[in-house]
Structure 1
Amino acid sequence: MSFPRYEEYKDSGVEWLGELPSHWEALPNKVAFRQVKAEVGDAWSDTQLLSLTLRGVVNRDIDSGDGKYPADFGNYQIVEPQDLVMCLFDMDETPRTVGLSGSRGMITSAYDVFRCNPDVDPAYVCYFYRHVDSHKGLRPFYTGLRKTVRTPTFLSIKMPIPPLGEQKSIASFLNRETSKIDALVAEQRRLIELLKEKRQAVISHAVTKGLDPNVRMKPSGIEWLGDVPENWQMKRLKHISPFISVGIVVNPSSYISENPDDLPFIYGGDIREGIIDWPNSRRISASDSALQEKTRLQTDDILVVRVGAPGVAAVVPKACEGGNCASVMLVRKGSFNSQWLCYVMNTPVVRFQVEVVEYGAAQKQFNIAHAVDFWAPVSGRSEQDRIASHLDKRIGELNQLQIEADRAITLLQERRTALISAA
């Protein structure tokens, strides 16, 4: 993306800035703004908590329980409207290192707060450093293992300074254009949420009501489930699968192989809804896996996350045949359609039952002793096949729409970055 060029340019004298319009100046940051640091002290209880995020400087609710907070915020620093907040450490890992505050509040003293001089527009400075942050342009100034830019170093770095009126025009243009892009991104994100809801509704209806809209229904006998097709049965999980167990329990880490050509060794973190990320999983040798025959994986087994995201299930693909598992629930394949049961496991039909028995504050989990008694509505095998085939097609279509929406968001965000860089 480019804009009409100015009539005349000059060498900025700063290698990483290159040429500037002839009427612009390359000046140290300390000429444009100064550091301010004032502790909030005893007034913290009456001061809005702020946080630096990808969305900029935003308000946080101390009482929400979302995140870890100190008992006392007295050493937090005051932020005034139009102050710049910078994170000058862990800069490669920090998604957004600069933000412009729109309100008064307090923020952790780990950040640096800067206030612009009267002839410098804060929004312009923020956009410039967002451009720098987009390609981590401050890397040459990092020091230490935490990739920190020391405050005196940062204040000595030069940035391009146009006349104040031009700064305001650039910032106003970017505010207007990025707002349009942000609105389009928000629309795509809303679409993704609607697609997720649609996906869940399609699956839930198919596995609880079937595909025939005219089928006779009967009470399931389970209040929260309601009616099911007349020829279906309600069965506990232990009466659907011939064998249910946990993965390797005793020192599973001792079986981990460093050979990338060995067999997949699946942990809960490798499982997403309907997908096992086996290419990036740990490995176990064929001989070690054979020693743990009870949990040795077979194609079309089902693995269910026990800890962290309890209840998330996926079917074991052929690529995992002969491998093994740990920290998961293994549901051995049987006379049922595994893909059908996986769909059932990933709906509220089973997830609700998981929530009832799960425990743990830091990491939710459940016991196999409870899981074997989970209820599921069970159709005949031929109907399971039809349901699985139908859902594979419909969910594939919805997933493709989500992929396209994700791609649109990526392109819009790239356009946003390019727009800021070009301006």
Structure 2
Amino acid sequence: MKNDSSYSNNSNKSSLSVAKHKPYPAYKESGIEWLGEVPEHWDIQKVKHAVTYAVSNVDKKTQEGEASIRLFNYTDVYNNEFLTNEMDLMVASASQGQIGNFIANVDDVLVTKDSEDWRDIAKPALVISSAPDIVCGYHLALIRPYKNRTEGKFIFRLLQSALINQQFQITSNGVTRYGLPKSAIGEALITIPPIQEQKAIAAFLDRETARIDALIQKKERLIELLKEKRIALITYAVTKGLDPKVKMKDSGIEWLGDVPEHWEVYRLRYNIRLNPSKNAISHLDRDTELSFIPMDNVGVDGSLNLDTVRTISEVECGYTFFAENDVAIAKITPCFENGKGCVFHSLVGGYGFGTTELTVMRPRDMESKYLFYITISDLFRKIGEGWMQGSAGQKRVPDEFIKEFRVPVPSIKEQQAIVEKLHKLETKTDLLLDKAKNSITLLREYRASLINAAVTGKIDLRDEI
């Protein structure tokens, strides 16, 4: 591949196949079932024979009498492929012995040693710039290549390979928290080509993953822009209507501006019943099953996961009640700011209960979907943020904000027309979003398979540099 254009049509899986790269001319059996054949001139070694490695005991505390240091800590490694001395690093302290043992050098590879999820074991990050005061932190292992025998960049890519990495995940132990024993690191098997070939493979993967990542970033930006455009169109439609020639009037509200002359501006309290009573189900047997909606089942795009049901007796106390066609918003940060909300539909038995972090609105003289569009409009969310109360991380939108929020209200017929138009626009947007998301999935899959094939010798990259 010589330029980004060969990735551009990534909806075609064949264009993202590692098969376009030639194999090595000769292979041998590795003797390892999960690895299969390797190039004839490659070696298979245990990690302990190819690199030095150590498990850090440098915690994030600052002790009197110890030297001040900066830490590459667990989250730095978990969230970044590459570590630099320009990162905002945690300051702690360490003994001179710890600094000597765990100073982070350029081309060192740091890996996660402990995690609550076994799939996060042995995630690697490569040190590309450091300083004398930067040390590998706790819950991490430091892997250092032998000079002229192993290349740090190649070791880093090896540990990114799912095929190689599975050894560490399998040997980690624990129940609610998993840890990787030091011995398991040393006993893992890795492929070792000649040093110049390691450098060539690493350089190829640096180049190709950078191109793939740039394309993924473009797709992610496209997704952001599509979402922003969606909200902008919704906001305009519920405040200005669909007719660009309609006569306007001053709403009398600074942040709202002009609205169609024939629309009336009301406080939302006059168009909804907030957190309606559950008296409607008082006649039902307590063993009756209804829909149950935890916060995770409410999407930021209005989607709703209805897989969960509970009996009335399980949820009638301590949960939020709602009925078919009610509208809900998530009132707690950051769910509110992210736009979590929905119109309840297809509920089991026509009713349901859910997290207490939902505020429920039952529309009066207003279409449910139109009310939903109001609640995800940029004006509603931005103004709501200013009303939030509570401590950091626990801020919530109060009911009073919803009651006092002023909305321009057209006739039911016009609401229905706006809903229909927005639904069509959303359908088109969703198709574009799905296409972009699918492209990202394919690019990430290709990225992983390319790394896997390169470091295990399934493709010959000696002429690719």
Structure 1 residues 147 and 384: CA distance shift in structure 2, 3 A = same
AA aligned opposite 2:347 = A
Please state whether the residue corresponding to 1:52 is helix, strand or coil: helix
Q: Which residue of 2 aligns with 1:380?
A: 411
Q: Contact conserved, 2:158 with 2:164, CA < 8 A, in 1?
A: no
1:112 corresponds to 2:141: yes
In the aligned structure 2, how far is the partner of 1:246 from the partner of 1:368? 13
Q: Contact conserved, 2:110 with 2:124, CA < 8 A, in 1?
A: yes
Q: 2:345 aligns with which of 317, 329, 339?
A: 317
Q: 2:127 aligns with which of 101, 121, 125?
A: 101
In the aligned structure 2, how far is the partner of 1:116 from the partner of 1:52? 18
Q: 2:323 aligns with which of 295, 298, 305?
A: 298
Matches within 5 A, 1:183-332: 183-241=214-272, 243-245=273-275, 262-281=289-308, 283-285=310-312, 296-308=321-333, 309-310=335-336, 312-320=340-348, 321-327=350-356, 328-332=358-362
Q: 1:421 aligns with which of 452, 459, 465?
A: 452
In the aligned structure 2, how far is the partner of 1:95 from the partner of 1:203? 43
Query: Could you tell me how far 1:153 is from its partner in structure 2?
Result: 2.1
Structure 1 residues 418 and 303: CA distance shift in structure 2, 3 A = same
Query: Could you tell me how far 1:376 is from its partner in structure 2?
Result: 1.5
Please state whether the residue corresponding to 2:28 is helix, strand or coil: strand
Gaps in structure 1 of 5+ consecutive residues: 64-68, 249-256
Query: Could you tell me how far 1:195 is from its partner in structure 2?
Result: 0.6
In the aligned structure 1, how far is the partner of 2:248 from the partner of 2:398? 33
In the aligned structure 2, how far is the partner of 1:11 from the partner of 1:288? 59
Q: Which residue of 1 aligns with 2:368?
A: 338
Structure 1 residues 149 and 208: CA distance shift in structure 2, 3 A = same
Matches within 5 A, 1:6-85: 6-35=24-53, 42-44=67-69, 51-58=76-83, 62=88, 73-75=92-94, 78-85=103-110
Query: Could you tell me how far 1:148 is from its partner in structure 2?
Result: 2.6
Q: Which moved more, 1:47-56 or 1:359-368?
A: 47-56
In the aligned structure 2, how far is the partner of 1:134 from the partner of 1:365? 46
In the aligned structure 1, how far is the partner of 2:444 from the partner of 2:311? 40
Q: Contact conserved, 1:79 with 1:106, CA < 8 A, in 2?
A: yes
In the aligned structure 2, how far is the partner of 1:149 from the partner of 1:133? 17
- For 1:71-112, what per-residue CA distance to the aligned partner results, in whole angstroms no more than 9, with x for missing partners? x52259532221101112236342871111111144432111
Q: Which residue of 2 aligns with 1:169?
A: 200
Query: Could you tell me how far 1:52 is from its partner in structure 2?
Result: 1.2
Percent identity of paired positions between Structure 1 and Structure 2? 29
In the aligned structure 1, how far is the partner of 2:327 from the partner of 2:139? 46
Q: 1:92 aligns with which of 102, 114, 118?
A: 118
Structure 1 residues 175 and 211: CA distance shift in structure 2, 3 A = same
- For 1:6-44, what per-residue CA distance to the aligned partner results, in whole angstroms no more than 9, with x for missing partners? 333333344433332221111121222112559595332
In the aligned structure 1, how far is the partner of 2:208 from the partner of 2:320? 56
- For 1:291-323, what per-residue CA distance to the aligned partner results, in whole angstroms no more than 9, with x for missing partners? 78x975332111121224236331110325122
Q: Which residue of 1 aligns with 2:154?
A: 124
Structure 1 residues 26 and 312: CA distance shift in structure 2, 3 A = closer
Q: Contact conserved, 1:96 with 1:133, CA < 8 A, in 2?
A: no
AA aligned opposite 2:137 = T
Please state whether the residue corresponding to 1:272 is helix, strand or coil: coil
- For 1:206-257, what per-residue CA distance to the aligned partner results, in whole angstroms no more than 9, with x for missing partners? 111111111122222221222211111221111111x212788xxxxxxxx9
AA aligned opposite 1:390 = K
Q: Contact conserved, 1:92 with 1:136, CA < 8 A, in 2?
A: no
Please state whether the residue corresponding to 1:5 is helix, strand or coil: coil
Structure 1 residues 122 and 246: CA distance shift in structure 2, 3 A = farther
Structure 1 residues 95 and 387: CA distance shift in structure 2, 3 A = farther
Tell which has more relative contact order, 1 or 2 (C-alpha 8 A, sep 6+): 2
Q: Which moved more, 1:141-150 or 1:24-33?
A: 141-150
Q: Contact conserved, 1:206 with 1:387, CA < 8 A, in 2?
A: yes
Q: Which moved more, 1:180-189 or 1:325-334?
A: 325-334
- For 1:381-415, what per-residue CA distance to the aligned partner results, in whole angstroms no more than 9, with x for missing partners? 11111111110110111111011100000001111
Query: Could you tell me how far 1:274 is from its partner in structure 2?
Result: 5.0
Q: Which moved more, 1:159-168 or 1:73-82?
A: 73-82
Query: Could you tell me how far 1:48 is from its partner in structure 2?
Result: 7.7
Q: Contact conserved, 2:121 with 2:168, CA < 8 A, in 1?
A: no
Q: TM-score, normalised by structure 1?
A: 0.85
Structure 1 residues 331 and 144: CA distance shift in structure 2, 3 A = closer
Structure 1 residues 317 and 28: CA distance shift in structure 2, 3 A = same
Query: Could you tell me how far 1:275 is from its partner in structure 2?
Result: 2.8
In the aligned structure 2, how far is the partner of 1:299 from the partner of 1:134? 50
Structure 1 residues 278 and 141: CA distance shift in structure 2, 3 A = closer
AA aligned opposite 2:198 = Q
In the aligned structure 2, how far is the partner of 1:324 from the partner of 1:48? 45
Q: Contact conserved, 2:121 with 2:180, CA < 8 A, in 1?
A: no
Q: Contact conserved, 2:325 with 2:345, CA < 8 A, in 1?
A: yes
Gaps in structure 2 of 5+ consecutive residues: 1-17, 60-65, 279-285, 455-465
Query: Could you tell me how far 1:62 is from its partner in structure 2?
Result: 4.6
In the aligned structure 1, how far is the partner of 2:277 from the partner of 2:142? 50
Q: TM-score, normalised by structure 2?
A: 0.78
